[in-house]
C-alpha cells in the first residue's frame, strides 16, 4: 500500500517530480512562507499570509530537505495517501473479510483524487484527511467493544491530531468538535464524572503537545500578537464573508445540498449515500451510539468547513471524503454476500492495484500538464503577444531566467496570490505583503495599499502580475520587459514582468 501510494501520487499531484512545478497559488504561498521561516522570517509578522503555522512549518521542513522544489511535498502527500489507504483498510476489516477490505482500499484513491475537489495537490485538506480517517477508525472500532468508551491513550492521540489540524486550518476541526462534544456529554449523561475529567485532561494534554511549541516559537520571535491578529481575528472577521450567524448556518446547508446534485459530484454523492450503510452495519451489532456519533461528526465537519461563509466548491469538499468513502465498505459488504474469493488471489490483488492507479485518470487530468507533455498550455499558449515566440518554458521559468541576470534582486507578486515566481527565481520576499490576499479591497484596503506603495517607492526591482491586475502606477517607475501567455486552472492568463527604471533592460 505504501509503494502503491508513492507510484499513484507521481501521476496525480503536481508536486511530484513528473511535473515542472506545482502552479497552484496556495501551494506556492505555503512554500514561500516555509522558505521564509528557514531564513528567519516570521509568518504573519514578516510575511502576510492567513493559513495555519503548522502548514508553513511542514513546507519549511520540505525546503530544508530539498530547497526550491515541491519534491518533499510529494513525499508528504504520498505518505498521507498511504495512511489514508491503510487506515481505510483497517476500518473496512471491521465490517468485511480481509480480502474485500484489502480490495476496497485500492478504490479509495479514485474517490480522493476526483478533480472536482483534489485540484493540483498540496492543500491543507490533504494533510487533514488521514487525521479524520484515524478519528473515524477510533470511533467505528467501538463496534468490537462491549461498551462505548475511548482509552486515555486514544484521547491523548486525538488531542494531538486536533492541535495539528487546528494550526493547519482551524475550520477543519469540525469532526473533533463533534467527537469531543458528544463523548463529553455522553460521560456526563452516564454520570461517569471521573472518566469525564480523565478524558478532558488527556485530550487537552495532547492538544498542548502541538500548541505549546507554536506559542513558544511566536513568543521568542515577538509574533504572538501577529498570530492572533491574522490567523484568528483576520480569518474570522475579514476573510470570512460578512453575514449573520443564522444566515451562514442556512447557507451551509443550502450550499452543501445544492452541490450534491451537481453532475461533477455524482461520484461523491453516490458514495455518500452508500456510506449510510455503516448505520445498518452498526445496528446489526447494537451500536446505535456509534452511528449517532458518526452522523454528528459528519454534520459538524461540513458545518465548520463552510461556516466562514466562503462556499468554494472544489478543494473544500475534500475534508468530507473520509465520510463518503465509507460507501465503498457498504458496497464491499454487499458484494461479499454474493462473491467468494478462494482462487487466483494474487491475480485479483494485482488487478485491483492496477485499477487503483488507472481509475483516477478518468476524472483527474493533471498528468496532461506534466513533463510527459512538455508543451502543454500551462507552460505556454502560442501567441504573437509573447515576448519570446519560440519559448517552451512557463512564465515562471522564463521570467526567472531574466530576473536572475541581475544579482541580489527583489520581486513583488502584485495583485494576486503567489503565482510561483518567487520559487522559480529563488527569491525571498523583501516586503511583508508579498502577495495580494483573496479579500475584497473594501474590507481590507491595507493589502492593496501597501503593494501600491512598494511600487511607488521602488522597493522592488521587478514586479510580476496578470494583465487583469494592471495598474497605471507601474508606468511611473517601471517598464515592461516580458509578456507570456499560459493557462492556469484552465483559463488563459497573460503574465507581465516589469523592471525598475534606471536599470539596463535584461533579455
* pLDDT tens profile 151-189: 999 999 999 999 999 999 999 999 999 999 999 999 999
User: What pLDDT does 145 receive?
Assistant: 80
Return the ∠ at Cα 25 (arms to 468 and 399), rounded to 5°: 65
* Mean pLDDT for the stretch of residues 135-158: 91
- Residue 290's pLDDT band (boundaries 50, 70, 90)? confident
More confident residue, 501 or 270: 501
395-500, which class in CATH?
alpha beta
pLDDT at 261: 60
Give the pLDDT mean for 322-337.
85
Pairing of strands 462-466, 411-413: parallel
User: Which positions ≥6 away from 15 have C-beta within 8 Å?
Assistant: 22, 27, 70, 71, 73, 74, 77, 120, 121, 122
Grid coordinates in use for 298?
A: 459528519
Name the grid cell of 264. Answer: 461533477
Mean pLDDT across the stretch 253-264?
62
Confidence of residue 199 (pLDDT cuts 50, 70, 90): very high
Q: Which of 280-284, 287-291, 340-344, 362-366 has the highest mean pLDDT?
A: 362-366
Give the tens place of pLDDT for each residue, 27-65. Answer: 999 999 999 999 999 999 999 999 999 999 999 999 999
Within 261-344, residue ranges assigned H as helices are 266-275, 277-283, 288-306, 321-324, 326-336
The verdict on pTM exceeding 0.85 is yes
Q: Whole-angstrom Cα distance, residue 154 to residue 94? A: 18
Residue 315 pLDDT:
75
**132-146, 251-265, 430-444 — which is least confidently predicted?**
251-265
Exposed, middle or buried: residue 212 (CB in 10 Å: 0-12, 13-18, 19+)? Answer: exposed
Do residues 108 and 85 make contact, with C-beta atoms less than 8 angstroms apart? yes
Q: How confident is the model at residue 287 (pLDDT cuts 50, 70, 90)?
A: confident
Summarize the confidence of residues 476-485 as an average pLDDT: 96
Share of the chain above pLDDT 90, in %: 66
Please state, in angstroms and rounded to a whole number, the distance separating the CA atoms of residues 394 and 416. Answer: 18
- The pLDDT of residue 257: 65
Average pLDDT score over the chain:
89
Q: Which three cell numbers stand for residue 116?
A: 472536482
pLDDT for position 472: 93
The set of cell numbers assigned to 133 is 480517517
- Report which of residues 336 and 27 the model is more confident about: 27
According to DSSP, residue 356 is labeled H
Q: What is the pLDDT of residue 226?
A: 97
Q: Is the dihedral of CA 334, 340, 344, 346 positive or negative?
A: positive
- Percentage of residues of the chain with pLDDT beyond 70: 88
pLDDT confidence band for 344 (50 / 70 / 90): confident
Q: Looking up cell 502584485, which residue turns up?
A: 414
- CATH 3.40.190 in the chain is located at 395-500
- 3-class secondary structure, 498: strand
Going by pLDDT thresholds of 50, 70 and 90, the confidence category of residue 295 is confident
Predicted confidence at residue 211, as pLDDT, reads: 98
Compute the C-alpha angle 196/201/204, nearest 5°. 120
Of 373, 376, 377, 367, which is closest to residue 491 (Cα–Cα)? 377
More confident residue, 413 or 352: 413
Cell numbers standing for residue 230: 491574522
Amino acid at each position: 500500500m505504501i509503494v502503491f501510494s508513492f507510484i499513484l501520487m507521481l501521476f496525480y499531484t503536481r508536486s511530484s517530480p513528473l511535473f515542472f512545478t506545482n502552479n497552484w497559488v496556495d501551494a506556492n504561498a505555503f512554500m514561500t512562507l516555509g522558505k521564509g521561516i528557514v531564513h528567519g522570517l516570521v509568518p504573519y509578522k514578516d510575511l502576510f499570509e492567513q493559513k495555519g503555522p503548522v502548514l508553513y512549518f511542514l513546507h519549511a521542513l520540505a525546503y530544508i530537505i530539498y530547497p526550491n522544489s515541491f519534491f518533499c511535498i510529494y513525499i508528504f502527500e504520498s505518505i498521507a495517501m498511504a495512511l489514508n489507504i491503510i487506515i481505510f483498510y483497517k476500518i473496512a476489516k471491521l465490517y468485511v473479510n480481509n480480502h474485500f477490505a484489502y480490495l476496497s482500499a485500492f478504490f479509495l484513491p479514485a474517490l480522493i483524487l476526483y478533480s472536482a475537489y483534489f485540484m493540483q495537490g498540496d492543500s491543507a485538506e490533504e494533510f487533514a484527511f488521514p487525521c479524520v480517517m484515524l478519528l473515524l477508525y477510533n470511533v467505528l472500532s467501538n463496534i468490537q467493544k462491549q461498551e462505548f468508551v475511548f482509552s486515555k491513550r486514544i484521547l491523548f492521540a486525538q488531542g494531538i491530531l486536533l492541535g495539528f489540524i487546528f494550526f493547519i486550518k482551524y475550520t477543519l476541526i469540525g469532526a473533533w468538535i463533534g467527537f469531543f462534544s458528544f463523548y463529553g456529554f455522553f460521560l456526563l449523561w452516564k454520570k461517569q464524572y471521573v472518566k469525564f475529567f480523565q478524558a478532558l485532561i488527556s485530550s487537552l494534554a495532547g492538544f498542548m503537545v502541538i500548541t505549546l511549541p507554536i506559542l513558544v516559537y511566536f513568543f521568542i520571535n515577538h509574533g504572538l500578537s501577529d498570530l492572533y491578529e491574522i490567523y484568528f481575528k483576520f480569518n474570522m472577521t475579514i476573510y470570512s464573508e460578512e453575514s449573520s450567524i443564522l444566515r451562514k448556518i442556512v447557507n451551509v446547508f443550502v450550499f452543501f445540498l445544492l452541490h450534491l446534485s451537481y453532475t461533477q459530484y455524482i461520484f461523491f454523492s453516490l458514495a455518500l449515500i452508500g456510506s449510510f450503510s455503516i448505520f445498518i452495519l452498526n445496528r446489526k451489532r447494537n451500536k446505535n451510539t456509534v452511528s449517532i456519533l458518526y452522523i454528528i461528526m459528519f454534520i459538524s465537519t461540513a458545518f465548520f468547513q463552510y461556516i466562514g461563509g466562503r462556499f468554494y466548491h472544489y478543494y473544500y469538499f475534500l475534508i468530507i471524503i473520509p465520510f463518503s468513502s465509507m460507501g465503498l465498505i457498504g458496497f464491499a459488504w454487499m458484494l461479499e454476500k454474493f462473491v467468494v474469493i478462494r482462487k487466483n488471489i494474487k491475480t485479483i490483488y494485482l488487478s485491483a492495484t492496477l485499477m487503483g492507479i488507472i481509475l483516477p485518470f478518468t476524472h483527474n487530468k493533471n498528468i496532461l500538464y506534466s513533463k510527459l507533455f512538455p508543451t502543454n498550455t500551462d507552460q505556454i499558449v502560442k501567441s504573437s503577444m509573447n515576448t519570446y515566440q519560440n519559448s517552451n518554458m512557463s512564465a515562471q521559468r522564463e521570467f526567472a531566467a531574466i530576473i536572475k541576470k541581475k544579482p541580489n534582486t527583489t520581486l513583488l507578486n502584485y495583485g494576486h496570490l503567489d503565482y510561483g515566481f518567487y520559487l522559480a527565481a529563488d527569491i525571498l520576499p523583501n516586503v511583508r505583503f508579498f502577495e495580494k490576499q483573496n479579500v475584497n479591497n473594501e474590507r481590507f484596503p491595507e493589502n492593496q495599499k501597501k503593494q501600491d506603495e512598494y511600487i511607488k517607492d521602488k522597493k522592488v526591482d521587478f514586479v510580476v502580475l496578470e494583465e487583469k491586475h494592471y495598474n497605471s502606477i507601474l508606468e511611473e517607475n517601471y517598464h515592461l520587459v516580458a509578456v507570456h501567455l499560459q493557462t492556469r486552472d484552465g483559463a488563459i492568463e497573460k503574465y507581465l514582468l516589469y523592471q525598475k527604471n534606471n536599470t539596463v533592460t535584461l533579455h
